[in-house]
Structures are given as structure tokens and as C-alpha cells.
């Protein structure tokens, strides 16, 4: 009989992952059989209660006194028991015995139970934490009374959210662990099943083999007792026995294989144990964290409670205070109300009076339009009367004003008359670089410190003194000189004719006095400025028109400096209206409104002159330059018209050129100059002596200025003198001329009349100066000397600078 052979195939080494599966209640899942213990000995650690396990390694293991804490670590010894799972083989020759003990089967179960319990506990804790979190979250935020509270609440909320995050993480970790434990449980169950099968098969095989062995022994014994044929049988049996031995060795090999399998399983179990250990550590950490979170949550909760309590207290306090205040206010209001009531009682009679008043006023208002009309009528009448009175007053004032104006004019005129209609002043220019150096350039002019009308000249070593209306030293400014002539300008606005002459030798400062420099203007500019400002001042009552003309007289030929054809000779004629007035047909007249306009006019005149003469400087020294300003005014209220003429004349150099033996054109120029200056002297003499005939027609200059020199016109002669030694002859001549002009006046008051001496002597002295050169006279000042340096003069304005331009005005 061939024993049946059974192959022990446990398959590949099963993984310990998923060894057992744990249900939610910690019980095996339905349908999954929990591996039963192999024998009572294989269950050394009996259950001490549901979900509780006594820990320890057999009897020697330390008693599991602390079961709660032991519950967590119980899995560790339980797993260690799994190592005892072994398959023993008695060895060849011994009764075939397959001994398999699944020593750790029950321990594993216990361990699994413990893990499940632990899991469940952790889950419950998690749930509790969650519930607490929910509760905290659900709690309404306590009213914040202070910044501190709100900050703490924010911190708590932040901490809570952190805790929630950590709990969520732990949850994830726990579920992972659960999954792992479940997988391990499954696999363990599988291994247990296989082990059981193996053990059962092994037992069967042992049983079968021992039976066969017994049979064989019996057969051998019976055969031994038989005859040789029996020996044959024995041999056969022996042969069979060898076969059985072979089967036995096969069985041993299989047993060996099974042992290897078991060893492998043990290894796997060991790994699993390690994994479980690490899982336990992790779980312990998680638990510690959860405990920490719990404590934090508790603390936060406590803080929140405290805060809420303090807030509650605050609220109660505030309510109490508000209540107290409200009570006080209510009391005050009640008192006020009582006061108002008493007031009302007292006001009632007043109200009655007011009502009566109101009714009375209402009645009055009804009659008000009528009253108003009457009042308006009377007021209108009063206003009309007042206006009439004011008008008459105004008329009276206007009349008085005009009378005053006339009076002022008269006074001014009288003042000018008292000063003399023809006045002579002298101005001494300072010593200039052009005078050179040495004895010839020494100063020969001195002044009287006590009398500003006296001038002393040291001529050829002899002092000579002269008395004029005023003498200006070389220190006198342009403004000082202008102040002396200011009154004449005002006269011009009032309708008087005025002539201002600058007389003197070439280079004595005539042009400087008349025109000055742009920085320091002379009489012309200042006079025009004064005119414009005066006119502006009177603009409310008077309408003024100011026109200018510019002309020159050279060699007794009159030319228009502002005309389109300056070379044209102009004639002086009598007005055809029979008024006896003179006029110059063709003389250009420009209306000007400002000093700038005047400057433009000069510029234009200068251009005309430039194109006409090649040597302008010399020419200008030997010609008379006239600026004629006409001021026409209309009194706006009366229509009264006035016309005043201001003649500003820069005369030609007065030096006696003829004496130095000049010939030709130079002699002709000198003769013309002397003739015209002599004629001027004659006219002034005739005017001062109030002769019946005044020889205006003797020169173009006097003829042109006839209406400005006659009648109640005013004339000012500024005699310019050079202070230096070399010019003393000419200075003496000029000063003599000045003194004589002044002395012939038959003026009012104390003025002397020296008409006789003027006409007889001066004229005689004058004439030879033109016609008979005196050998004694020094020609130290060459004609034209100083013409190259004439800054600030009106003639300088006429210096060549370009071709003719269109009229500026």
C-alpha cells in the first residue's frame, strides 16, 4: 500500500500588512472568522474583561497592573508571542509527529482587540475635540470693549484654527494607521488559516503514517513467525519498508520546507511587530499633541469665559450708570417741566398782551402802503430840494474854483513877471578831460558863498565879477537847474509863450543843460515830463493836445528836422487870417502823448539830419536847434481855449570865430551865427526897453520866435561858461553878454533900467565882434573844439546812426 502524498504549499510568503481587519466597534467584521486558539496552552494570557488585556510575557511577565496604560502597549508583548509560532519535527526514527503550535494566536487576537479599542478611544477623543471646536466656533464673539480683549480673542481664534488644522492632520494620520492595521489583520487571519490547514494536514499525515507503521510492524511480526515464504514476504515488506522510508524522507523534506515557511512567517511577524511599535509611538505622539491641544483649548475657553464675564460685568456697570444718569436727567426734566408750567401760567397774560399788540400791528400794516406812499412823496420832494441845493452849491463851488484858478494863474504870472519876463542865469560846467592838463586847464571861475547870483572870473590875472539872476556852479545838478525853469513850463500850460535859450561858446555845456544824457536828462526832457504830468493832473477839467516840431537854423536857413524833405528851406509867413500871427508853411508838427513819442520824433529828426550833413558835430555846433512844443488846452466845462508855446533853443556856439582869421565857409558860418546872436540881443534889448519897434526880422531866429518873445511871453537865457583858464576870454564875453541882457530890463520894483547903456555900448561892442576881428583876442578855443564829445545833448541825439526811416507818429 502506497501512502498518499500530500503537498504542503503555503504559497508565497504572505505579507503581514492587512493581517487583521478591525470593525468600527472593535469587533471582527461579520463573516470573518477570528482564528481560534490551537490549545489551551496556546492561550497564556486570558482575557480579563472585554476590551481589556492583562499584559506580560507568560507567567513571568510583569503583571499588567496599569491596564489603561498597558492597553496601549499590550500589543507589543502580544506580538512577541507570535514568535513562538513554530512547527516542530521529531526527527527521523522517532514516531512521525508533526507538532505545530500556534502559540501566539490568541495573543495576536488580544493585541488586535487592544489596537481596536485604542483606535476607538482615539476616535472618540477626536470626536470630542471636534465637538468642542464646533462649540467654540459656534459661540458668538463676545462684544469687544477694549483693544486688549479683541486682541486676545483674535489670538484665541488663530490658535483655534491652528488646532483645527492639527486635528485634521492627526485625523488623516489616524485613518492611515487604521487602514494599515486593518490590512495587517487581514493578512494575519489569512496566515492563521493557512497554518491551521497545514497543521490539520500534518496531523492527518502523521496519523496515516503511524497507522501504516503499525500495520507494517504487525505484518513483519506475523511474517517472522511464518516460514521461508514468509521470509520472502518479509523481504517484500522490507522492500516496501524502504519505499515507506523514502516517503518518510519526502515527508521530512516537506516538513523542512514548511519549517522554512514558518520561519519566514516569523520574520514577517517580526517586521509587523516593529511597524506596530512605530504606529504605537506615533499614536502616543498624537495623543500627546491632542492632550496639548485640549489643554490649550481649555485655556482658551477659560480665557474666553473670563473675557465674557468681564464684558458682562462692564455691560452691567454701563447699564447701571446709564440708568442712574437717566434717572438724574429725568429728575431734571421733571423739574424743568414744572418750571415751564409755572412760566406758562405767568406768560399767559403776556401772551394776551402780545396778541392784542399783534392785532394792532396788523391793522397798522394794512394802512402801511398808504403811509409809505405819502412818506415816499415827501422824501422825494426833500431829495429833489437837496439835489437842487447841491447843484447850486456845485455851481457856486465851480465858480469859486474857476476864480481861484484864474487867481492862481494871475499870481503865477505875477510871480514870473516879478522875477522878470526875461531872466538870465549862468551855469558853469565842471572841468572835463577834454580841457587837458597844465596851467591852461586851471579853474578861473569862483563863486560868492553868500550870494548865488554873483560869479567871479580871473581873466588875465584880474578878477572880474558879474551879477546875474542866478549862478549855478559846476556842482549844480540838472534838477537844480530845472527847478529854476519849472515855473515857466507851468506858464506854458496856462497859455503863455516861453523861450528858453542855451547860450555859450562851443563845449560850454549848452547841449548838456538842454538835453542832458539818457541817465541824467536836461531841461527838454524834464520840461516835457512835467508837461505830461500836469496835463494828466488836469485831465478831469481840461483836454490838452501837445504837439512838437523840430527845426534848425544854419547859415540863416530854416529847415524842418521832422519833414520828409529836410533839405527844403522853409519860410516864415504871416497868417493869412489877418491875426498878425506868424507861421511856417510846411513845418511838420507831431502830436505826442508821452515822452517816448517825443524820443521817437527826435530819432526821426536825427536821421533826417544825418543824411543831410557829413560832419554833423561841427554842423550842429554852428546851427541853432529848436524844439517847439505847443500845448493847446480846452476847458471842458467852459469851452475856454488856451495855447502855449514852449521854445527850447540850443544856440550855436558863441565863440568869436571871425577874430581868429577864419575864411570861406567857416567865416560865413561865424558871421551868420554872430548876426543871429546879435539880432537876439537887439530884440531882447528892444523888448526890455519896451521900444515901439522890435527888430525881429533881423534874423531868422528872432523872426521865428517873434510871438514867443513879444507880449507877456517869458524868456530864460541860460549862459553856459567854461571854468578853465584857456577859455576865460570867451567866458568873459559870454558873461558880459548875459549881464547886459539882464541889466537893460525896465522891470518892476527894484530893477534898474539900463536901456541906454545896452543899446549904445553893447550893440557897438557886438557889431565889431562880427565884423572886425580883434587881434588881441586869443583863439585858444578852436571853432568846433569840443564838438566831438557832446554826450547827453539834443544834438547828440542827432548823431548819425542810419538812413531815414518812416515817420514814427
- Annotated binding residues for ATP, written as ranges, equal 504-511
Please, how many CA atoms are within 13 Å of residue 222, restricted to the half-sphere of its CB? 8
- Buried residues in 68-87 as b, exposed as e (16+ CB within 10 A): eebbbbbbbbbbbbbebbbb
CB 540, min distance to ligand ATP, A = 38
SS3 per-residue string spanning 100-166: EECCCHHHHHHHHHHHHHHHHHHHHHHHHHHHHHHHHHHCCCCCCCCHHHHHHHHHHHHHHHHHHHH
CA 467 – CA 105 distance, rounded (Å): 162
Dihedral over Cα of 526, 528, 530, 532: its sign: negative
- CA-nearest of 180, 175, 169 to 278 is 180
Task: State whether residue 787 is helix, strand or coil.
Answer: coil
The smaller minimum CB distance to ligand ATP, of residues 184 and 510, is found at: 510
CB 654, min distance to ligand ATP, A = 8
The smaller minimum CB distance to ligand ATP, of residues 14 and 516, is found at: 516
- CA-nearest of 208, 232, 203, 202 to 220 is 232
CB 393, min distance to ligand ATP, A = 52
CB 787, min distance to ligand ATP, A = 5
- Determine which helix (DSSP H) or strand (DSSP E) holds 520, and give its type and residue range: none
The smaller minimum CB distance to ligand ATP, of residues 37 and 430, is found at: 430
The smaller minimum CB distance to ligand ATP, of residues 26 and 504, is found at: 504
- Buried residues in 489-524 as b, exposed as e (16+ CB within 10 A): bbbbbbbbbbbbbbbbbbbbbbbbbbbbeeeebbbb
Residues in the chain: 809
What is the DSSP-derived secondary structure letter of residue 744?
T
Residue 436: alpha-carbon gap to chain centroid: 64
The smaller minimum CB distance to ligand ATP, of residues 170 and 621, is found at: 621
The smaller minimum CB distance to ligand ATP, of residues 160 and 719, is found at: 719
CA 724 – CA 714 distance, rounded (Å): 32
Would you tell me which residues interact with ligand ATP (CB under 6 A)? 429-430, 432, 504, 506-512, 620-621, 653, 720, 786-787, 789-793, 795
CB 432, min distance to ligand ATP, A = 5
The smaller minimum CB distance to ligand ATP, of residues 188 and 648, is found at: 648
Cell output for 642:
488856451
The smaller minimum CB distance to ligand ATP, of residues 202 and 795, is found at: 795
- Determine which helix (DSSP H) or strand (DSSP E) holds 681, and give its type and residue range: helix 664-688
The smaller minimum CB distance to ligand ATP, of residues 407 and 782, is found at: 782
- Buried residues in 404-439 as b, exposed as e (16+ CB within 10 A): eeeeebeeebeebeebbbbbbbbbbbebbeebeeee
CB 435, min distance to ligand ATP, A = 9
Pick out the residues of the known binding site. 504-511
Whose CB is nearest to ligand ATP? 509
The smaller minimum CB distance to ligand ATP, of residues 26 and 723, is found at: 723
Contact 654, 503 (CB under 8 A): yes
**Cell 475657553, residue?**
301
Contacts of 134 (CB under 8 A, 6+ apart): none
Contact 555, 548 (CB under 8 A): no
The smaller minimum CB distance to ligand ATP, of residues 21 and 675, is found at: 675
The smaller minimum CB distance to ligand ATP, of residues 56 and 791, is found at: 791
Residue 308, judged by CB atoms within 10 A of its CB (0-12, 13-18, 19+), counts as middle
- Determine which helix (DSSP H) or strand (DSSP E) holds 457, and give its type and residue range: strand 451-459
Give bridge partners of residue 644 from the DSSP assignment.
631
The smaller minimum CB distance to ligand ATP, of residues 78 and 508, is found at: 508
Contact 61, 70 (CB under 8 A): no
CB 731, min distance to ligand ATP, A = 12
- CA-nearest of 710, 708, 714, 707 to 691 is 710
- Buried residues in 571-594 as b, exposed as e (16+ CB within 10 A): ebeeeeeeeeebebeebbebebee
Q: To 5 degrees, how large is the angle CA 744–CA 746–CA 751? A: 90
Amino acid at each position: 500500500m502506497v501512502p498518499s502524498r500530500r503537498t504542503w504549499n503555503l504559497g508565497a510568503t504572505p505579507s503581514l500588512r492587512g493581517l487583521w481587519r478591525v470593525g468600527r466597534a472593535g469587533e471582527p467584521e461579520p463573516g470573518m472568522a477570528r482564528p481560534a486558539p490551537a490549545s489551551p496552552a496556546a492561550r497564556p494570557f486570558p482575557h480579563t474583561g472585554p476590551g481589556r488585556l492583562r499584559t506580560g510575557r507568560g507567567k513571568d511577565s510583569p503583571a499588567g497592573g496599569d491596564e489603561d496604560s498597558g492597553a496601549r502597549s499590550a500589543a507589543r508583548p502580544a506580538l512577541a508571542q507570535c514568535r513562538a509560532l513554530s512547527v516542530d519535527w521529531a526527527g527521523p526514527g522517532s514516531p512521525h509527529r508533526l507538532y505545530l503550535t500556534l502559540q501566539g494566536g490568541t495573543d495576536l487576537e488580544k493585541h488586535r482587540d487592544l489596537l481596536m479599542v485604542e483606535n476607538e478611544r482615539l476616535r472618540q477623543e477626536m470626536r470630542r475635540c471636534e465637538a468642542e471646536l464646533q462649540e467654540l466656533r459656534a459661540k458668538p464673539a463676545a462684544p469687544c470693549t477694549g483693544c486688549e480683549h479683541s486682541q486676545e480673542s483674535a489670538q484665541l481664534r488663530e490658535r483655534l484654527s491652528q488646532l483645527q488644522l492639527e486635528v485634521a492632520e492627526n485625523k488623516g494620520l489616524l485613518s492611515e494607521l487604521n487602514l494599515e492595521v486593518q490590512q495587517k489583520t487581514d493578512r494575519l487571519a489569512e496566515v492563521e488559516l493557512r497554518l491551521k490547514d497545514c497543521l490539520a494536514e500534518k496531523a492527518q499525515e502523521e496519523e496515516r503514517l503511524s497507522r501504516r507503521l503499525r500495520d507494517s510492524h504487525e505484518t513483519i511480526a506475523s511474517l517472522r513467525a511464518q516460514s521461508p515464504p514468509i521470509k520472502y514476504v518479509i523481504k517484500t515488506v522490507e522492500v516496501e519498508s524502504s519505499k515507506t522510508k523514502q516517503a518518510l524522507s519526502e515527508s521530512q523534506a516537506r516538513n523542512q520546507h514548511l519549517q522554512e515557511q514558518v520561519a519566514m512567517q516569523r520574520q514577517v511577524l517580526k517586521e509587523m511587530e516593529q511597524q506596530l511599535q512605530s504606529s504605537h509611538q506615533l499614536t502616543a505622539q498624537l495623543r500627546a499633541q491632542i492632550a496639548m491641544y485640549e489643554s490649550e483649548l481649555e485655556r482658551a475657553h477659560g480665557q474666553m469665559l473670563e473675557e465674557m464675564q468681564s464684558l458682562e460685568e462692564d455691560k452691567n456697570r454701563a447699564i447701571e450708570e446709564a440708568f442712574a444718569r437717566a434717572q438724574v436727567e429725568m429728575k431734571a426734566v421733571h423739574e424743568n417741566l414744572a418750571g415751564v408750567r409755572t412760566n406758562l401760567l405767568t406768560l399767559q397774560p403776556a401772551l394776551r398782551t402780545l396778541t392784542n399788540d399783534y392785532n394792532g400791528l396788523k391793522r397798522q400794516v394794512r394802512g402801511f402802503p398808504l403811509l409809505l406812499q405819502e412818506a415816499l412823496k415827501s422824501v422825494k420832494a426833500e431829495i429833489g430840494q437837496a439835489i437842487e441845493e447841491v447843484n447850486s452849491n456845485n455851481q457856486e463851488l465851480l465858480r469859486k474854483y474857476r476864480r481861484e484858478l484864474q487867481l492862481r494863474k494871475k499870481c503865477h504870472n505875477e510871480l514870473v513877471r516879478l522875477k522878470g519876463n526875461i531872466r538870465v542865469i549862468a551855469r558853469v560846467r565842471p572841468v572835463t578831460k577834454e580841457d587837458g592838463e597844465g596851467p591852461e586847464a586851471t579853474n578861473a571861475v569862483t563863486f560868492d558863498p553868500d550870494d548865488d547870483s554873483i560869479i567871479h572870473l580871473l581873466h588875465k590875472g584880474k578878477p572880474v565879477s558879474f551879477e546875474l539872476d542866478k549862478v549855478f556852479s559846476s556842482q549844480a545838478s540838472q534838477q537844480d537847474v530845472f527847478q529854476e525853469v519849472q515855473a515857466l513850463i507851468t506858464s506854458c500850460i496856462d497859455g503863455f509863450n516861453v523861450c528858453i535859450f542855451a547860450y555859450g561858446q562851443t563845449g560850454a555845456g549848452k547841449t548838456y543843460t538842454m538835453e542832458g544824457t539818457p541817465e541824467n536828462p536836461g531841461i527838454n526832457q524834464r520840461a516835457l515830463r512835467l508837461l505830461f504830468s500836469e496835463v494828466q493832473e488836469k485831465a478831469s477839467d481840461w483836454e490838452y493836445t501837445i504837439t512838437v516840431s523840430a527845426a534848425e537854423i544854419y547859415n540863416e536857413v530854416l529847415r524842418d528836422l521832422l519833414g520828409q524833405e529836410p533839405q527844403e528851406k522853409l519860410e516864415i509867413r504871416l497868417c493869412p487870417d489877418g491875426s498878425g500871427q506868424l507861421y511856417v508853411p510846411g513845418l511838420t508838427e507831431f502830436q505826442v502823448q508821452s515822452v517816448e513819442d517825443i524820443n521817437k520824433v527826435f530819432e526821426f529828426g536825427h536821421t533826417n539830419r544825418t543824411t543831410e550833413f557829413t560832419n554833423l558835430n561841427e554842423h550842429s555846433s554852428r546851427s541853432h536847434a529848436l524844439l517847439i512844443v505847443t500845448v493847446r488846452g480846452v476847458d471842458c466845462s467852459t469851452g475856454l481855449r488856451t495855447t502855449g508855446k514852449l521854445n527850447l533853443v540850443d544856440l550855436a556856439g558863441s565863440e568869436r570865430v571871425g577874430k581868429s582869421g577864419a575864411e570861406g565857409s567857416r567865416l560865413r558860418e561865424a558871421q551868420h551865427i554872430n548876426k543871429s546872436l546879435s539880432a537876439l540881443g537887439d530884440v531882447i534889448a528892444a523888448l526890455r526897453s519896451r521900444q515901439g519897434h522890435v527888430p525881429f526880422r533881423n534874423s531868422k531866429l528872432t523872426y521865428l520866435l517873434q510871438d514867443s518873445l513879444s507880449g507877456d511871453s517869458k524868456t530864460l537865457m541860460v549862459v553856459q561858461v567854461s571854468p578853465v583858464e584857456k577859455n576865460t576870454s570867451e567866458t568873459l564875453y559870454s558873461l558880459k553878454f548875459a549881464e547886459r541882457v539882464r541889466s537893460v530890463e525896465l522891470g518892476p520894483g527894484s530893477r534898474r533900467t539900463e536901456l541906454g547903456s545896452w543899446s549904445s555900448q553893447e550893440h557897438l561892442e557886438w557889431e565889431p565882434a562880427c565884423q572886425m576881428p580883434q587881434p588881441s583876442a586869443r583863439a585858444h578855443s578852436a571853432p568846433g573844439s569840443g564838438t566831438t564829445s557832446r554826450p547827453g545833448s539834443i544834438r547828440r541825439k542827432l548823431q548819425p546812426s542810419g538812413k531815414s526811416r518812416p515817420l514814427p507818429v
